[in-house]
A and B are shown apart, each in its own frame.
Chain A
């Protein structure tokens, strides 16, 4: 079914090609005007709330003084970036951020997949639904509550977990202050809070797997593990890849609230990440330009990661975002 009327087969000169193009565009716009109209609010939303504020990144190249305002504040070029990259804190903060990001990819990212696969194997649907509901609950608690719970459970001296660990291993544990324990605690908290909710998308993908494939495999003598490996995983592979690309975009966001609440004087060396650094140096001290520069740097790294992951996915012939 052709929408557009057949072109006249005259030799095409530039202006007439443009004209034809305009005519085609107009025809299409008219034909699908209601669909385009429905698109409009979305476009306006992005333009107003997502693109217009991006003008704000110019702050990163200015020395912003609130009273002088946007236009009067002097341009300083890349001064804020130089300050960031030459800061003695920079290697440590970058290291901490990347290390947490790495742990996130290696431990936190696969966890919902594993749980979803396990749930998929549960036969009784009532049990499955009960487990699902239970593991969703932590998602609805704020980080403040998660941190308070952690403080109670892992408190030095009288926290239940601390007491248990001390009785089991016979040595004392300073979970909350020992730098060695900081990352395990953060990853543990993230797992506890996000894993259950993260399974939703994989369970949805799993629901779409053709049941006859399993049937055929069983006839061929495949066991449960082989079915999972050869049917289930390939079926949700594209979902996994897309989720990985999406995750990679905000790897540099280690979560301000969680880290901030778990940081103290004794573990700051491993705890300080870009998000908390921005807060302490930028927001708390009114250095808006410097914070913007850090935000922009994070954004650029995020962009590189998205394109990088996407490119990798493309190389390995997987479904990609763009």
Chain B
């Protein structure tokens, strides 16, 4: 009985205690790099099933190019944040560490305590590390201090994916405005788009992926209606998006669609991991997500109908709001930072050497090598696209390795590599459409000014408080609470600590500007 008791109560304590022996078994890594920097230890997340082999084609080519040996520890993506914490606690931090969320509290605390180099004034000394976008740099930094080189990501990914065959059956056009979206969703629900004579379809597929300012479909619709992306500036003050009239307007619109039955009724519980299923099964016809979703769906249709798979999927970008303007929802533009640790890179001289290695790897040649591979071996350049060469099993391994190394590429100086182009004609068209849409939408992107700030209150209380808003929004959309009750819940957010977050963010904002 004593055993059961202690086990149950001591879970957290035991978890914490387990860090201690782990700390002891690292050993020796701090000498992983000598004065000339002939080798670098790296910690990176692994999203592919298999970690790249140390003596694989790709890693060898990158090492030869950079003139440094890489000792990479690939950590499965799902465990990465925990592993990062453990590594920080051990004090034996690899020279280069990928930090997916540059505002992760344990990372910020460690960086502020001197675990990582402050690169704010160093980046401009290296042409290929000079940030393409000052804004993305600020968003990836911690209140103005860059504790790493940011990892470039597509700045615009929002896309609406629709069933092309359903549109064709009903003689409809791809929607351009939110009103069009409503019309198409209604037609998909009521006019039997699959022509089977049964009332078994609906329009918009919404998942329970219900966050704020995280690129969710809810965020997209609110932004299209003119609400800020997360935070917006009103009369010189930063305010959360859910205090704006546009936020309510957007949710009234969406609630109307739910009431009409144009949305999957189980949206409050529908797991985003199964998001593709209703689309491919022919239950729902519209997904608001990213261009990658459209590519994934096209691939699923290719497997079920290798002949005409191109006829099922079409895509459009951000939709024009009721005010007649296009407000596009961008991504933060970065996927975290590549931080350089002070334990493994103790001196300024070594830091300069490491930075120049990263500088090489972010040149056009370096980017191409890390992401596309070696021309003629791993890809062929066609119309400025990279068409992968996959002829043997070894080629497949190389492509998988490239996708892993691609996550390590900083490219903060801008994208200089080739966009990957798959073989099929429909895929090529889709990729071209997505590129065009993204380029157009990017000009109308609504930025989130608060991304630059790390507020301690936000880190401590933010996500618990966010649940107040997201839960209330889900209840409002389901018709369980009225708009007044939604407003009351927003007041509760302010009362239970939200006001402190607003004050904190605004203080940081006024200090920065």
Interface residues of A (CB under 8 A from B): 46, 50-57, 59, 64-70, 88-89, 151, 155-157, 176-177, 245-246, 249-250, 253, 264-266, 268-269, 277-278, 280-282, 284-288, 291-292, 294-296, 298-299, 302-303, 306, 321
Question: Within 8 Å CB of B266, what residues of A?
Answer: 155-157, 176
For the complex of A and B, the 4 pairs showing the least CB-CB separation, nearest first, are A299-B9, A56-B13, A67-B110, A265-B474
Q: Is the CB of B88 within 8 A of A66?
A: yes
Residues in B whose Cβ lies below 8 Å from that of A56: 10, 12-17
B250 sits at the interface (CB 8 A): no
Tell me, in angstroms, the Cα distance from A59 to B16 when the chains sit together.
8
- Given A156-B269, A265-B471, A296-B9 in contact, is the A249-B16 Cβ separation under 8 Å? no
Given contacts A281-B464, A295-B13, contact A265 B268 (CB under 8 A): yes
Q: Which residues of B contact A67 (CB under 8 A)?
A: 88-89, 91, 106, 109-110, 113, 115
Q: Which residues of B contact A57 (CB under 8 A)?
A: 10, 13
Within the complex, the shortest CB–CB distance from A101 to chain B, in Å, comes to 13
- 8 A-B pairs with CB atoms under 8 Å apart are A51-B6, A53-B18, A65-B110, A67-B113, A156-B269, A265-B471, A266-B474, A280-B464
- Decide: B471 and A268 in contact? CB cutoff 8 A: yes
CA distance A298 to B15 in the complex (A): 16
Q: What residues of chain B lie closer than 8 Å to A280, measured between beta carbons?
A: 463-464, 467
Complex Cα gap A264–B269 (Å): 6
Residues in chain A near residue B20, CB distance under 8 A: 70
Q: Residues of A contacting B460 with CB < 8 Å?
A: 285, 287
Contacts of A294 in B (CB 8 A): 12
Given the known interface contacts A53-B14, A70-B20, A266-B480, the answer about A88 and B3 at a Cβ–Cβ threshold of 8 Å is no
Q: Is the CB of A65 within 8 A of B113?
A: yes
Q: Which of B14, B269, B460, B464 has the most CB of A within 10 A?
A: B269
Task: Establish whether residues B17 and A52, one from each chain, have CB atoms under 8 Å apart when the complex forms.
Answer: yes
Q: Are B6 and A69 in contact (CB under 8 A)?
A: no
Cα A287 to Cα B18 in complex, Å, equals 16
- Kindly state whether residue B425 has any CB partner on chain A within 8 Å: no
Chain B, 375-399, CB within 8 A of any chain A CB: none
What string of 1s and 0s marks CB contacts (under 8 Å) between B251-269 and chain A? 0000000000000011011
A65–B1 touching, CB < 8 Å: no
Chain B at the A interface: SS class:
helix
Q: Which chain B residues lie closer than 8 Å to A291 at the CB level?
A: 12
Which residue numbers of B lie inside 8 Å of A, CB to CB?
1, 3-20, 23, 81, 85-86, 88-89, 91, 104-106, 109-110, 113, 115, 208, 210, 265-266, 268-269, 459-460, 463-464, 467, 470-471, 473-475, 478, 480, 495-497
Q: A54-B6, A67-B88, A249-B4 are in contact. Are A285 and B17 (CB under 8 A)?
A: no
Given contacts A67-B113, A67-B115, A284-B463, contact A50 B13 (CB under 8 A): no
Give the residue of A284, A299, A321 whose beta carbon is less than 8 angstroms from that of B1.
A321
A-B contacts counted at CB < 8 A amount to: 151
Which residues from chain B contact A246 at a C-beta distance below 8 Å?
A: 1, 4
A288 to B11, CA, bound (A): 12
Q: Which residue of A lies closest to B210 (CB)?
A: A265
The answer for the CA separation of A264 and B266 in the assembled complex, in Å, is: 11
Q: How far is the CA of A249 from the CA of B4 in the complex (A)?
A: 8
Residues from chain B with Cβ under 8 Å of A176 in the complex: 266, 269
Distance in angstroms between the alpha carbons of A281 and B460 in the assembled complex: 8
**Contact A59 B13, beta carbon cutoff 8 Å:** yes
Residues of A within 8 A of B7 (CB): 50
List residues of chain A with CB within 8 A of the CB of B3. 46, 50
- Residue in B closest to A291 when the chains form the complex, CB atoms: B12
How far is it, in angstroms, between the C-alpha of A215 and the C-alpha of B132 when the chains are bound? 92
Q: Which residues of B contact A266 (CB under 8 A)?
A: 268-269, 471, 474-475, 478, 480
Residues of B within 8 A of A306 (CB): 1, 5
Chain B hits for A54, CB < 8 A: 6, 10, 13
| Residues A50 and B6 in contact, CB atoms below 8 Å apart | yes
Nearest to B208 among chain A residues (CB) is: A264
A314 to chain B, nearest CB (A): 15
**Alpha-carbon gap, A7 to B4, bound state (A):** 42
Identity of the chain B residue whose Cβ is nearest the Cβ of A56 in the assembled complex: B13
Report A-chain residues with C-beta under 8 Å of the C-beta of B467.
268, 280
B268 touches A177 (CB 8 A): yes
Closest-CB distance, B464 to chain A (whole angstroms): 5
The residue that A292 contacts in the complex, of B1, B6, B16, B464, with Cβ under 8 A, is B16
> Which of B106, B463, B473 has the most chain A CB atoms inside 10 A of its CB?
B106
6 further interface pairs, Cβ-Cβ under 8 Å (given A266-B475, A280-B463, A295-B10): A88-B496, A249-B1, A265-B471, A266-B471, A287-B105, A292-B13
In the assembled complex, the Cα of A151 lies from the Cα of B208 at a distance in Å of 14
**Do B105 and A53 touch (CB < 8 A)?**
no
Quick check: A177 and B478 within 8 Å, CB to CB?
yes
Q: Which of B4, B11, B18, B460 has the most CB of A within 10 A?
A: B11
* Bound CA span A286–B459, Å: 9
**Chain B residues closer than 8 Å to A264, beta-carbon distance:** 208, 268-269, 474
